[in-house]
Structure 1
C-alpha cells in the first residue's frame, strides 16, 4: 500500500495496512507503529475490521486504501483516536459508502468533520466516484448526523429509525 498520509490542521489520516488490521483484530495494537488510544476501538469497530480483512484478502493491494480503515491521528498527542474508511471501491453507479468512529474523549470538537472532509477530498480525485453515501445512520446519533451535514452530505431518505445521506461528487 502506498504511504499516503492526509493532513489537516489538527489531524493526520493514515491508511492501516492489512497487518495493522490483523493486529487490531488480535488485540496486539502495540505492534502498530502509531499508538492507538484503546478507547478508540469499540466492539463494532473490531467487527468491521474483521469484515475488512476478509474483503482485503480478495482484492489487489493497490486498492486497499478503499477497503481499509484510515487511522485518525491527533497531531498534538500523535495518537490514533478513531477510524474512518470506505466499504470498497465505487460501485457500478459510482458510489461508495463511508463509515467512521472516534473515541468518546474526542467527540464534539469538530475532529470527525475534519477527518471526513479530508477523506472525501482524497476520494473525489477518483474519476469513477460520483458520490459518497452514509447509510443506516441512527436518527438518535445526533453527532454523526451533524458531521454529515457539516460535510455537505444531503439527507437522501429516511426510515423510522435511520437516515441515509449522499454527498454528490461530480
Structure 2
C-alpha cells in the first residue's frame, strides 16, 4: 500500500491499512498510532467498517485506497474525528460511490466538506473515475445533504426518505 496522505489547512486524510481497520473493528484502538475520538465510532460506522473489511479481503492491493476508509484527522490535536472513503474502484461507467461519517462534536464546522473536497480532488486525477455518487442519503440528514451540495453534487433522484446525488468529474 502506498502512504498517500491528503492535506488541507485543517485536516489530514490518511488511508487506513487493512490491519488498522481490523484494530478498529476489534476495539483495539491502542494499536493505532493516531488516537480516534470514540464518538467517531458510533452508529453505523462500526458496521460499515466490518463490511469494508469483508470487501477488502479480496480486493487488489494496488486498489487499496479505493476500498479502505481514510481517517479524517484534525491537525490542531492530530486526532481521528471521522472516516471517508469509496466503496471500491470506479465501475465500468466510471462511477464510484462515497460514504463518510464524522464525530458529532466536529459537525457543522465545514470539516466534512473540506474532507470530501480533498477526496474528490484525489479521485479526479484518475482517468477512469468519471463521477462520484452518494446514495440513500436520508432527507432528514440535513448536514450530509448540505455537505454534498457544498461540494457541487447534483440531486439526481429523491425516493421516499432518501436523496441520491451525483458529481460528474469529466
TM (norm. structure 1) is: 0.99
> Partner residue of 2:66?
66
1:7-156 equivalent positions in 2, closer than 5 A: 7-156=7-156
Gaps of 5+ in 2: none
1:42 Cα deviation after fit: 1.7
Q: Which residue of 2 aligns with 1:169?
A: 169
Structure 1 residue ranges without an equivalent (≥5): none
SS for the counterpart of 1:21 is helix
Aligned length: 170
Deviation at 1:40, TM superposition (A): 0.6
SS at match of 1:136: strand
SS in 1 for 2:49: helix
Detail structure 1 runs of 4+ shifted over 4 Å in the superposition: none
CA distance in 2, matches of 1:63, 1:129: 13
- State the 1:67 CA deviation: 0.5
Displacement after TM superposition at 1:43 (Å): 3.4
Q: Calculate the aligned-residue CA RMSD, in Å.
A: 0.6
Q: In structure 1, what is the Cα distance between the partners aligned to 2:149 and 2:122?
A: 19
Counterparts of 2:65 and 2:87 in 1: how far apart (Å)? Answer: 10
Q: CA deviation at 1:160?
A: 1.8
